[in-house]
């Protein structure tokens, strides 16, 4: 039996013909990286190739590494295998990785979403034979409300809290979600304050996107200054002494998980806004159809349920185990930054 173009190995997704890994979880010589989240761009590879907008992000996260930036659709050939990066719409600089050899095409999505968030390059479906998809939200219960509506609700929530003389604390991941929220916060309502993890990452991305002004919260920041204003913080800051000093405050989280009321209650958050940087159920199905792929490989999220559903629809679908899934890593990153304040 001939070796598949991409194989799932103990180091990561491997293209044997090219000697290259895609988002490997163990240190390797050659890695092509889909995006800057910690579970996809890890330490220790000898050479990194990624979209040029992801270059400043991973240099910030990983320090001095050997990295080459590519443009959307730019082809590069390694040992007769043709690679190119295409927008995944997940976060700034996030790519799908297209791999072609002798007319056979595979696409690896990394993480992706179909709605244009206005700061990431919008997702483009790519025709392929085999499509490797995440299924973080691969259940029919996940169906997103349009972003404009969610963001308007967030601004209204902030204005109401201000009218009650309270500080609004909004939780979102420091890379991606926080900047998406920041871009659309209405500065007519008040000022935007940030946690260190979010401030640092936003600073890295300011040359790429026009963001409103933010003020880093430091030891010198008085809680009176925060009243009526909004604080952007990573989810891990919830329940910390850093937050407790801000009373009176109201908390909210912006995440796809807010679909489940229980998620909000368990995390003791006052309000949940359903806003995700991943595909919802219809988004996953529409993208799969648009690729024209017959073979689908599900990598992380509700993989078993989702691949079973795809098989019922006539696809040749299966699940492969990977080490992707970003919440844990985000927590680790954010707590490091909390300690630094």
Where do contacts with Zn ion occur on this chain (CB under 5 A)? Answer: 37, 111, 324
Q: Compare residues 133 and 251 and give the one whose CB is closer to Zn ion.
A: 133
Q: Tell me if 297 sits within 8 A of 132, measured CB to CB.
A: yes
Smaller CB distance to Zn ion: residue 92 or 274?
92
105 — phi, psi (to 5°)? -120, 130
Task: CB nearer to Zn ion: give 129 or 327.
Answer: 327
Task: Tell me whether residue 142 or residue 324 sits nearer to Zn ion (CB atom).
Answer: 324
Contacts of 281 (CB under 8 A, 6+ apart): 137, 138, 139, 140, 141, 142, 143
Nearest distance from C-beta of residue 159 to Zn ion, angstroms: 31
> Does residue 270 contact residue 189 with C-beta atoms inside 8 Å?
no
Q: Which is nearer to Zn ion, 111 or 280 (CB)?
A: 111
Cβ at position 315, least distance to Zn ion in Å: 21
Nearest to 232 by CA among 247, 206, 253: 253
- What is the chain's length? 341
Tell the smallest beta-carbon distance from residue 5 to Zn ion (Å).
Answer: 21
Measured from the CB atom, the residue of 215 and 329 that comes closer to Zn ion is 329
Helix (H, G, I), strand (E, B) or coil at 251: strand
User: Minimum Å distance from CB 279 to Zn ion?
Assistant: 12
Task: Tell me whether residue 190 or residue 283 sits nearer to Zn ion (CB atom).
Answer: 283
CB of 254 to Zn ion, least distance (A): 15
Instruction: Count CA within 13 A, CB hemisphere, residue 81.
Output: 20
Tokens of 57: 């992000």
Contact predicate 267/189, CB 8 Å = no
User: Does residue 47 sit in helix, strand or coil?
Assistant: strand
250 close to 230: Cβ distance less than 8 angstroms: no
- Smallest gap, in angstroms, from Cβ of residue 326 to Zn ion? 5
Minimal distance in Å, beta carbon 92 to Zn ion? 11
Distance CA 135, CA 300 (A): 6
State the burial class of residue 215 (Cβ atoms within 10 Å of its Cβ: 0-12, 13-18, 19+): middle
In 20-111, DSSP assigns E strands to 20-22, 30-32, 47-51, 67-70, 76-78, 81-87, 95-101, 104-108
Contact 122, 106 (CB under 8 A): no
Report the nearest approach of Zn ion to the CB of residue 112 (Å). Answer: 9
Other beta carbons less than 10 A from residue 161's beta carbon: 26
Give 37 or 61: the residue with its C-beta nearer to Zn ion. Answer: 37
């Amino acid at each position: 039996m001939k070796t598949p173009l991409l194989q799932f190995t103990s180091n990561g997704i491997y293209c044997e013909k090219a000697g290259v890994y895609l988002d490997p979880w163990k240190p390797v010589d050659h890695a092509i990286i889909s995006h800057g989240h910690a579970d996809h761009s890890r330490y220790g590879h000898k050479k990194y190739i990624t979209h040029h907008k992801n270059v400043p992000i991973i240099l910030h996260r990983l320090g001095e590494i050997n990295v080459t930036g590519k443009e959307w659709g730019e082809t590069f050939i390694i040992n007769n295998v043709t690679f190119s990066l295409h927008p995944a719409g997940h976060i700034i600089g996030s790519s799908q990785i297209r791999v072609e050899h002798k007319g056979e095409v595979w696409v690896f999505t990394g993480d992706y979403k179909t709605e244009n968030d206005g700061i990431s390059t919008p997702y483009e479906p790519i025709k392929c034979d085999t499509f490797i998809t995440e299924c973080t939200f691969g259940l029919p219960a996940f169906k997103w409300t349009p972003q404009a509506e969610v963001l308007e609700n967030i601004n209204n929530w902030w204005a109401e809290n201000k009218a009650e003389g309270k500080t609004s604390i909004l939780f979102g991941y420091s890379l991606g979600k926080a900047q998406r929220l920041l871009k659309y916060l209405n500065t007519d309502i008040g000022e935007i304050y940030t946690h260190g993890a979010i401030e640092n990452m936003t600073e890295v991305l300011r040359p790429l996107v026009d963001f409103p002004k933010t003020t880093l919260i430091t030891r010198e920041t008085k809680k009176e200054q925060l009243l009526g204003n909004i604080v952007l913080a990573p989810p891990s800051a919830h329940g910390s002494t850093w937050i407790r000093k801000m009373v009176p405050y109201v908390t909210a989280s912006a995440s796809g998980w807010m679909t489940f009321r229980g998620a909000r209650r368990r995390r003791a958050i006052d309000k949940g806004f359903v806003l995700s940087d991943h595909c919802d159920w219809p988004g996953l199905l529409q993208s799969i159809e648009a690729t024209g792929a017959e073979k689908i490989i599900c990598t992380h999220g509700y993989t078993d349920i989702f691949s079973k559903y795809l098989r019922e629809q006539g696809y040749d679908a299966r699940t492969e185990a990977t080490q992707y899934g970003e919440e844990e890593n985000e927590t680790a990153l954010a707590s490091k930054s909390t300690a630094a304040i």
